[in-house]
């Protein structure tokens, strides 16, 4: 999950590369480096272990200028995050450099073959062998850089987005994609290659999304796309509807806090143009699935990872309740290896914020190979998921930079609610009055979120009291059981506190053994059909000296007496309560992580988009 930027044009490439890498740091931040072809035609490299700011210190002490170059911020897969393992990597001559996102699975055998031909290696990475392999092809064949680059690709096993420049190929950047994303930016007499949109959005909104097995040769005249054999490929540019400011922090201390506060607008934008307050109609044309096809569906599978998988669990409740279709929810990393039972009567739905998660894409291809129509729910236009699925329901959350997913998650909940309503209506399973009741409540969610977000001082205060605990248990029931899982994931991934989510009814089957004064319990207790059950669970915890933070959506003196703290959210339709119940949990994890001095936007060992297995 590294970040790559390439630039050719009139600007100082170091400025463009460093700024681009700053917007990609969420993809990986173990080390960083740039390589620039200077005016004298030589390649200069600057690299640093650690964060981008460490590379900037190196550049300040030893500046470099030129007229084109490549940059990289790393999430270590092979070789520790040290300077010598940082990208870019050179060949033997030092005149050719490569940056890489992905994993070359057969790099050891390739390295042995190249060593036998006299190549010497300086790093422990898989990437370095690519630079030497290209050099070997150029030497063997006496060919140019693009030809040598294409000749190496079939030798590589694994996944990669690769970008390469050579002092022997002036004013040329070559790049290839197999797996991790690559996008080509089209500026005014300047061109860009990047791992993700935010890296180059401040320069251009016109982009070309590369697909697997495609190669691009970028020169000052522009990009030329070919396949691995060198045959020309026609590609169309897309205009990205995001404003560069949206990818900035906008005055917030962290992207995560900004994105928590952007949820009202993200929900509003995801609803926009898709619902009517007059008739039971849901507009989802981009699904590419007719009502007749929806009526043919006999079962569904929702496949995702992490937070997106939690959205899938909520989706199960909604779809089974509103459309009467049996739904199984599966981790993509499990589904893809299980020879899944999928046929033309199954509708697999893939939920992914980035649309580039390797396991999710692999699971999609498993289902397509079995003849199923596939549906994506995704936040990034042009991402692989949106290109490979039969249809996509877009979440319009805008760029989500913080590694911990927040606004994309609630937007996914809205998208899956719309799908459940559309499915239920197409199959005649939901009465018009209930349909309109849910739509009416959905319409009010953004304003209710704004009400919730207007004052988070109580949650910030609570974080002070709970920042030192080593373990947390989150409990929920029914449609809020997935929110217990999501709250636990939020806390663990940014504060590094161990946290588990559990169905509250499971307490007696094990977790209750954990309860004592050192184990805070966050209990999701909306005043729904299982509220009394949640009260009993809270009593069981209190009887064992546990500490309880309750989240509820109504007034209850009994709850106030039993719980140590009660967080209030506005009431809504019980099937929509996850949209509001999750917000205090996002804020609680944010403030606890902040108090613990954790890097909220770039938590250790994580990356925003897991494009490798
Ligand atoms: C969520 O906060 C995490 N960053 C992670 O679990 C994430 O949801 C998961 O990696 C899936 O990513 P995707 O939605 O881009 O596929």
Could you read off the pLDDT of 100-138 as tens digits, one per residue? 998 899 999 999 999 999 999 998 889 999 999 999 999
Distance 404 CA to ligand 1 centre (A): 7
Residue 1 has pLDDT above 70, yes or no: no
Supply the pLDDT for residue 247. Answer: 67
Supply the pLDDT for residue 548. Answer: 98
Distance 301 CA to ligand 1 centre (A): 18
Of the candidates 66, 60, 54, 45, the one whose C-alpha atom is nearest the C-alpha of residue 22 is: 54
Supply the pLDDT for residue 119. Answer: 95
Interval 406-424 mean pLDDT: 98
Mutate-to-test residue for ligand 1 from 28, 314, 353, 363, highest number of ligand atoms within 8 A of CB: 353
Phi-psi region at 125: left, alpha or beta (left = phi > 0; alpha = psi -120 to 50): beta
State which ligand 1 atom lies nearest to the alpha carbon of 305.
Answer: 11
Torsion angle (degrees, nearest 10) of CA 524, 530, 535, 537: -80
CA distances from 332 to 3, 342, 448 (A): 23, 14, 33
Of the listed ranges 28-42, 571-585, 592-606, the one predicted with least confidence: 28-42
Could you read off the pLDDT of 504-513 as tens digits, one per residue? 999 999 999 9
Supply the pLDDT for residue 576. Answer: 98
Q: Which residue has the tokens 């930016």?
A: 185
Interval 14-24 mean pLDDT: 91
CB 547 within 8 A of CB 514: no
Interval 314-337 mean pLDDT: 97
Supply the pLDDT for residue 310. Answer: 98
Task: Return the HEC string of 344-379.
Answer: CCEEEEEEECCCCCHHHHHHHHHHHHCCCCCEEEEC
Residue 566 has pLDDT above 80, yes or no: yes
Supply the pLDDT for residue 50. Answer: 84
Euclidean distance between CA atoms 5 and 437, whole angstroms: 48
State which ligand 1 atom lies nearest to the alpha carbon of 307.
Answer: 8
Instruction: Output the ligand 1 site: residues, CB below 6 A.
Output: 305-308, 352-354, 357, 360, 403-405, 493, 609-610
CA angle 212, 213, 218 (to 5 degrees): 100
Phi and psi at residue 207, to the nearest 5°: -135, 155
Supply the pLDDT for residue 27. Answer: 63
Distance 357 CA to ligand 1 centre (A): 8
Supply the pLDDT for residue 557. Answer: 95
Active site residues: 2, 608
Interval 289-296 mean pLDDT: 94
Percent of the residues in the chain that have a pLDDT greater than 70, as a whole number: 98
Interval 233-239 mean pLDDT: 95
Mean pLDDT taken over the chain: 94
DSSP line for 253-317 = SSHHHHHHHTHHHHHHHHHTTTB-SSSS-B--GGG---HHHHHH--EEEEEE-HHHHHHHHHHHH
Radius of gyration of the chain (CA): 25
Q: Which residue has the higher pLDDT, 28 or 522?
A: 522
Euclidean distance between CA atoms 27 and 602, whole angstroms: 8
Which residues partner with 524 through β-bridges? 551
Interval 404-425 mean pLDDT: 98
Mutate-to-test residue for ligand 1 from 181, 349, 355, 357, highest number of ligand atoms within 8 A of CB: 357
Supply the pLDDT for residue 128. Answer: 95
3-state secondary structure of 566: strand
Of the listed ranges 112-116, 197-201, 242-246, 499-503, the one predicted with least confidence: 242-246
Supply the pLDDT for residue 433. Answer: 95
Residue 558 has pLDDT above 80, yes or no: yes
Of the candidates 154, 158, 122, 125, the one whose C-alpha atom is nearest the C-alpha of residue 137 is: 154
Residue 79 has pLDDT above 90, yes or no: no
59 pLDDT band, cuts 50/70/90, is: very high
Q: Which residue has the higher pLDDT, 22 or 348?
A: 348
Euclidean distance between CA atoms 423 and 417, whole angstroms: 10
Of the candidates 175, 174, 206, the one whose C-alpha atom is nearest the C-alpha of residue 190 is: 206
Distance 598 CA to ligand 1 centre (A): 19
- For the entire predicted model, the pTM comes to 0.81
């Amino acid at each position: 999950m590294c970040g790559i930027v390439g630039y050719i044009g009139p600007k100082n490439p170091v400025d463009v590369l460093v700024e681009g890498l700053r917007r990609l740091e969420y993809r990986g931040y173990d080390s960083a480096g740039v390589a620039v072809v200077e005016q004298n035609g030589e390649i200069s490299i600057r690299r640093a272990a650690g964060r981008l700011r460490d590379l900037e210190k190196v550049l300040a002490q030893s500046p470099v200028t030129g007229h084109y170059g490549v940059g990289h911020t790393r999430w270590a897969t092979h070789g520790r995050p040290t300077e010598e393992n940082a990208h870019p990597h050179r060949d033997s001559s030092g005149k050719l450099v490569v940056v890489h996102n992905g994993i070359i699975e057969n790099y050891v055998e390739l390295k042995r073959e190249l060593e036998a031909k006299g190549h010497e290696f300086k790093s422990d990475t898989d990437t370095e062998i690519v630079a030497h392999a290209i050099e070997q092809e150029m030497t063997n064949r006496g060919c140019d850089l693009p030809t040598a680059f294409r000749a190496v690709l079939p030798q590589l096993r694994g996944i990669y987005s690769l970008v390469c420049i050579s002092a022997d190929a002036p004013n040329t950047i070559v790049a290839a994609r197999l797996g991790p994303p690559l996008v080509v930016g089209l500026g005014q007499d300047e061109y860009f290659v990047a791992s993700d949109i935010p890296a180059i959005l401040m320069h251009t909104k016109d982009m070309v999304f590369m697909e697997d097995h495609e190669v691009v040769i970028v020169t000052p005249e522009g990009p030329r796309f070919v396949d691995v054999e060198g045959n020309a490929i026609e590609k169309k540019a897309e205009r990205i509807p995001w404003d560069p400011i949206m990818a900035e922090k906008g005055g917030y201390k962290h992207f995560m806090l900004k994105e928590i506060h952007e949820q009202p607008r993200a929900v509003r934008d995801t609803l926009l143009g898709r619902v009517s307050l007059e008739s039971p109609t849901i507009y989802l044309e981009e699904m590419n699935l007719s009502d007749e096809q929806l009526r043919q569906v006999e079962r569904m599978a929702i496949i995702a990872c992490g937070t997106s998988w939690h959205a899938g669990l909520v989706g199960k409740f909604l779809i089974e309740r509103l459309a009467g279709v049996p739904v199984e929810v599966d981790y993509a990393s499990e589904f893809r290896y299980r020879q899944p039972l999928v046929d033309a009567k199954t509708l697999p739905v893939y939920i992914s914020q980035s649309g580039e998660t390797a396991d999710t894409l692999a699971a999609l291809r498993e289902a397509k190979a079995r003849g199923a129509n596939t549906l994506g729910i995704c936040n990034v236009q042009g991402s692989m998921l949106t290109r490979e699925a039969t249809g996509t329901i877009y979440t319009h959350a805008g760029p989500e930079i913080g590694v911990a997913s927040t606004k994309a998650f609630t937007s996914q909940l809205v998208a899956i609610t719309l799908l459940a309503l559309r499915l239920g209506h197409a199959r005649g399973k939901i009465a018009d009055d209930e349909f309109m009741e849910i739509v009416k409540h959905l319409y009010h969610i953004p304003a209710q979120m704004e009400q919730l977000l207007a004052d988070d001082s109580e949650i910030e205060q609570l974080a002070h009291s709970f920042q030192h605990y080593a373990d947390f248990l989150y409990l929920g029931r029914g449609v809020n059981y997935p929110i217990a899982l999501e709250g636990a994931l939020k806390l663990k991934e940014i504060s590094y506190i161990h946290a588990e989510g559990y169905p509250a009814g499971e307490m007696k089957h094990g977790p209750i053994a954990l309860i004592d004064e050192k184990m805070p319990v966050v209990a999701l207790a909306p005043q729904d059909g299982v509220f009394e059950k949640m009260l009993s669970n809270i009593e069981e915890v209190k009887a064992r000296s546990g500490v309880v933070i309750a989240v509820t959506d109504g007034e209850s003196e009994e709850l106030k007496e039993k719980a140590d703290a009660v967080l209030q959210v506005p009431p809504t339709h019980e099937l929509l309560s996850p949209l509001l119940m999750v917000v205090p949990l996002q804020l609680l994890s944010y403030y606890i992580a902040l108090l613990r001095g954790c890097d909220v936007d770039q938590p250790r060992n994580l990356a925003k988009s897991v494009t490798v297995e």
